[in-house]
Amino acid sequence: MTRMMPLLVAVLIGIAYQVFVDIYLVALPDIQKSLNMSYLAANSSLILYLGANAIFLLLAGILSEQLGRKNIIIAGLCISLVGTATILSMQHSAAFLIGRTLQGVGLSASILATPILMDNYKGKQLTYGFLCFEFFYSITPIIAPYIGATITSQYSWQHIFTILFIYQIVVLLFTLKLNKQNMDKKRLDKRRRLVIFRRILANKKFTVLTLIMALFWGEMVIAHLLSPYIFQNDFNYSTYEYGLFALTMGIFYAIAAISNLVLLKFYTEVRIISFSVWANAILAAIFLVKQLILPQSELDIGIYLCLMAIFCGLFFINAMTSSLRIFADYYSGYAAAIQGCICIGFWSLLSLICSQIQPNETVLVIILSSMAVVATTLLIKKRTIIFYAEQDRREELPC
């Protein structure tokens, strides 16, 4: 196995969770019509995917510490492949929802991307690994929606899942080439695992950053869920035209995320985190006031979502690395799983709530503004915890 293989697998499995969301959401209106589904049923495909993912994230993290990352990723990919095959083989709404649920269960293994990096690299190599992962994670929101829109407009939405099936096969083949993890830790009983969970959650910096991550990226989830209907139904965009907008939004996100490579030479992670949250709150306040005075146009909504994507791009990778680095040498799989479980569980709940609401510009702005206010309030109240750099070392768990 080459030294690049763990990085390759980490990137491919790490972005899989996001790919399986972004690539098909642009085609959701077409899927709804093709399978004769209601608006609620169509959105349930995302709710079931996120919900299943959130539930099994914790299990994936626990089992990866006991059985090894490689084995859990292989098992997860096999389950996800069954789900994708179900969608492709049975053109029925129930089969589609079952398939999406199985995909969510299987791709809970995507949470093991960062632990794979921490298992195989140290020092500068680990930093390089995180930067590479950040780059590909950043460009995924650019490529996936555009690919999904292009495939749907040229062929059909079923071809999206054919591409995803091939993608999973490729990831599985690369994963099989990974060396097995050295399981030098003692097998933990239930009581010991509960102690570990409590101590991870007791780390205030980890918990606060995780909650803000859930809120901030939750805004992106809502935008990706509601905006296809708003642009295609209210603004009369075609699927391909909306795909171009999603591509533009993704480019802004990626530019912001990649700019961290330069910004981190001059500013600390926490400074970038603080700026991003505050800037997003100010943006939300401006557009909320405008909404009360004059309804938003498609240009207004487009500007809002693109600017929000910029601030999210600056924020997310810094918050993730700052929080997970605390546990780099101590059950990183558990920490990543807990963080993923909290975030994705919250996003699943958001998706469920949004599925009960008829999408329009006013609803979108109000929901995004409310979440920005909550995230900023949390940052203000817990700013001393986030900015206290020494807390990482003081609260780090003993092995």
CA 228/CA 244 separation, integer angstroms: 12
Q: Is residue 265 part of a domain?
A: yes
Q: Is residue 343 part of a domain?
A: yes
Q: Is residue 183 part of a domain?
A: no
Where b means 16+ CB within 10 Å and e means fewer, 348-385 reads: bbbbbebbeeebebeebbebbbebbeebbebbeebeee
State residue 188's pLDDT score: 62
CA 309/CA 268 separation, integer angstroms: 20
Q: Per the structure, how many domains does the chain have?
A: 1
Q: Which domain holds residue 341?
A: 5-175+192-394
Q: Any residues with CB less than 8 A from the CB of 312 and at least 6 apart, and which?
A: 216, 217, 219, 220, 253, 256, 276, 280
What's the predicted TM-score (pTM) here?
A: 0.74
Q: Is residue 399 part of a domain?
A: no
pLDDT in tens, 167-208: 999 999 999 988 776 554 545 667 777 888 888 888 888 999
State residue 124's pLDDT score: 67
Q: Is residue 64 part of a domain?
A: yes
Q: Is residue 219 part of a domain?
A: yes
Q: Is residue 81 part of a domain?
A: yes
Collect the ranges in the chain with pLDDT lower than 50.
184, 186, 389-399
State residue 264's pLDDT score: 83
State residue 81's pLDDT score: 96
In whole numbers, what is the pLDDT of the chain averaged over residues?
84
Q: Any residues with CB less than 8 A from the CB of 167 and at least 6 apart, and which?
A: 16, 19
CATH number of the structural domain spanning residue 370: 1.20.1250.20
CA 175/CA 398 separation, integer angstroms: 31
State residue 393's pLDDT score: 44
Q: Is residue 311 part of a domain?
A: yes
Q: Are 12 and 170 in contact (CB under 8 A)?
A: yes
